[in-house]
């Protein structure tokens, strides 16, 4: 039974009614295409709505979770109690000189396109990362020798007191898949990137090359959350998994990709439990063979 359902009535004082969904299956909101229902899922349209909802949740002891487009998220089959705040409608992007100011729900692909259109270079590495800006900053997303810490100037966040703060690059404490936002549970509202002037054709060629390489090496034809595991110090997760004989290993329709063993994919009808059980098998086998601990890069939330 959805014990938080009655809170939807209160949320109508803050949000548009069409932006509130009750018992919403999370499989429609994650790139893994799995996950049970969220008690309430909302899609705010502006910063003030986000602030007001967070304050409402804190005041009423309602658990809440912030998400972007769900590209690095695994929701368990039992779903999520409380309120999911999905920031996908906060997606405005402004280009001012060599700076790009983006709301947190915009995708990295959209930011890359905006940079290309303005002949700004530095963010090409992110052209194929499927995440949103907020999630990318929270996890300091990176690829192909680039990462968010190289190009970010500041981030506007909501702190744990419901106050809006602007954190500069140093205050963000960006490290490998880590930030002060993740450490302290802040919510990203807006990000300012500082890029450099470049040549349109060179930028486009770089983006085309990276997209081609992704297509050749990654199982983009299947549902997944990208790289399932963090890179262990001194190793590459994909090589450890492949050398453990796990390429193609499956639990139901969850499978270690035969194209790139760093990815666990949903071949069509996997459940979150299938994926979680396969993650455990991979972790156990790699630990047994190489004495290396693998930790998930994908964020796992919800109830069994």
pLDDT at site 214: 93
98 and 192, same domain (yes or no): yes
Residue 98 within a domain: yes
120-121/142-143 β-pairing: unpaired
Residue 2 within a domain: no
Give me the residues of the chain with pLDDT under 50, please. Answer: none
Radius of gyration of the chain (CA): 20
Crossing angle of the two packed helices 108-117 and 200-217, in degrees rounded to 10: 150
pLDDT at site 5: 78
Range of the domain at 176: 93-202
pLDDT at site 2: 66
Q: What is the CATH number of the domain that holds 264?
A: 3.90.78.10
Active site residue 297: yes
Contacts of 207 (CB under 8 A, 6+ apart): 112, 116, 124, 127
Query: Model-level pTM?
Result: 0.93
Give the H or E element holding residue 278.
helix 272-290
Cβ(144)–Cβ(218) below 8 Å: no
183 and 232, same domain (yes or no): no
Cβ(232)–Cβ(292) below 8 Å: yes
Q: What is the CATH number of the domain that holds 21?
A: 3.30.43.10
Which of 86, 105, 128 corresponds to the end of one domain?
86
269 and 239, same domain (yes or no): yes
- Which one of 24, 190, 249, 297 is the catalytic residue? 297
Active site residue 177: yes
pLDDT at site 290: 97
Residue 51 within a domain: yes
Give how many domains the chain has, as a whole number: 3
Active site residue 215: no
Burial 2-34 (b: 16+ CB within 10 A, else e): eebeebbeebeebbeeebbbeebbbbebbbbbb
229 and 194, same domain (yes or no): no
70 and 135, same domain (yes or no): no
- Which one of 107, 132, 179, 227 is the catalytic residue? 227
- Which one of 104, 177, 190, 244 is the catalytic residue? 177
Q: How distant, in Å, are the alpha carbons of 49, 70, 75, 139, 237 from that of 53?
A: 6, 20, 22, 23, 39
Closest CA to 41 of 15, 61, 59: 15
Q: Which residue has the tokens 């893994």?
A: 32
Residue 214 within a domain: no
Residue 209 within a domain: no
Cβ(99)–Cβ(56) below 8 Å: no
108 and 147, same domain (yes or no): yes
3-class secondary structure, 105: coil
pLDDT at site 177: 87
Cβ(125)–Cβ(107) below 8 Å: no
- Model confidence pLDDT, tens digit, residues 220-235: 999 999 999 999 999 9
Residue 1 within a domain: no
The token pair that represents 257 in the structure block: 């990709």
100 and 182, same domain (yes or no): yes
30 and 65, same domain (yes or no): yes
Residue 297 within a domain: yes
24 and 124, same domain (yes or no): no
Which of 64, 86, 108 corresponds to the end of one domain?
86
Q: What is the CATH number of the domain that holds 107?
A: 3.30.465.10
Residue 33 within a domain: yes
């Amino acid at each position: 039974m959805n014990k938080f359902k009655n809170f939807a009535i209160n949320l109508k004082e803050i949000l548009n009614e069409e932006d509130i969904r009750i018992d919403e299956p999370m499989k429609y909101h994650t790139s893994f295409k799995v996950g049970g229902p969220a008690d309430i899922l909302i899609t705010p349209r502006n910063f003030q709505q986000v602030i007001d909802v967070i304050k409402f949740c804190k005041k009423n002891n309602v658990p809440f979770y912030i998400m972007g487009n769900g590209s690095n998220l695994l929701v368990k089959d039992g779903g999520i109690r409380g309120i999911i705040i999905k920031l996908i409608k906060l997606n405005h992007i402004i280009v001012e000189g060599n700076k790009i100011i983006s709301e947190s729900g915009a995708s990295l692909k959209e930011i890359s396109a905006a940079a290309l259109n303005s002949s700004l270079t530095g963010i090409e590495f992110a052209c194929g990362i499927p995440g949103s800006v907020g999630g990318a900053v929270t996890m300091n997303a990176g690829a192909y020798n680039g990462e968010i810490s190289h190009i970010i100037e500041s981030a506007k966040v909501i702190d744990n007191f419901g106050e809006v703060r602007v954190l500069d690059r140093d205050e963000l404490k960006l490290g490998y898949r880590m930030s002060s936002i993740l450490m302290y549970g802040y919510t990203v509202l807006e990000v300012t990137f500082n890029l450099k002037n470049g040549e349109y054709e060179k930028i486009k060629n770089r983006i085309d090359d990276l997209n081609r390489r992704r297509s050749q090496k990654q199982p983009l034809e299947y549902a997944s959350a990208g790289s399932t595991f963090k890179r262990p110090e001194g190793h590459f997760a994909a090589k450890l998994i492949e050398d453990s004989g796990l390429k193609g290993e499956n639990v139901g329709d969850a499978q270690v990709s035969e194209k790139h063993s760093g990815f666990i994919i949903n071949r069509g009808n996997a459940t979150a439990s299938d994926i979680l059980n396969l993650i455990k098998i991979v972790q156990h086998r790699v630990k047994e063979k190489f004495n290396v601990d693998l930790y998930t890069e994908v964020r796992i939330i919800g109830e069994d």
